Amino acid sequence: MTFPRLSKYFLGFSAILVLASATLFVVAGPKYSIEFTGGTLLQIELPADKTRDDVISALQSYEESAGSADATIQPDAGRPAALGNFTVTAVKTASEEAFLIRLRPMDNEEHISVLAHLRTSLGDVKELKYNTIGPSLSRSLKAKSLQAIAFASVAVILYLAIAFRKLPRKLNPWKFGVLAIIGFLHDVIVTVGVFIVIGWFTTFEFDTLFVTALLTILAYSANDTIVIFDRIRANMTFENRSEELSKIIVAGLRQCVTRTFSTAFASLIMLISLFFLGSDSIRWFILALIFGTVIGAYSSYFVAAPLLMYWK
- Position 80 confidence tier, pLDDT thresholds 50, 70, 90: very low
d(CA 97, CA 52): 10
What is the per-residue pLDDT for 76?
40
Q: What is the pLDDT of residue 65?
A: 53
Give the neighbor-by-neighbor strand order of the sheet with 87-92.
Answer: 87-92, 97-103, 39-45, 126-133
Residue 203: helix, strand or coil by DSSP? coil
- Other C-beta atoms closer than 10 Å to the C-beta of 218 total 24
Sign of CA dihedral 66, 72, 77, 83: negative
Helix (H), strand (E) at residue 193:
helix 173-201
All structural domains of the chain, each given as residue ranges with its CATH number in brackets, are: 3-34+136-310 (1.20.1640.10), 39-133 (3.30.70.3220)
Mean pLDDT of the chain: 81
C-alpha 45/C-alpha 260 separation (Å) is 44
SS3 of residue 241 by DSSP: coil
**CA 171/CA 159 separation, integer angstroms:** 16
Confidence at 238, pLDDT banded by 50, 70, 90:
low
pLDDT in tens, 40-55: 888 888 888 888 888 8
Q: What is the value of pTM for the model shown?
A: 0.77
Find out whether 7 and 301 touch, Cβ atoms under 8 Å. Answer: no
CA–CA separation, 298 and 210 (whole Å): 21
Q: Which of 85-89, 167-171, 272-276 has the lowest mean pLDDT?
A: 167-171
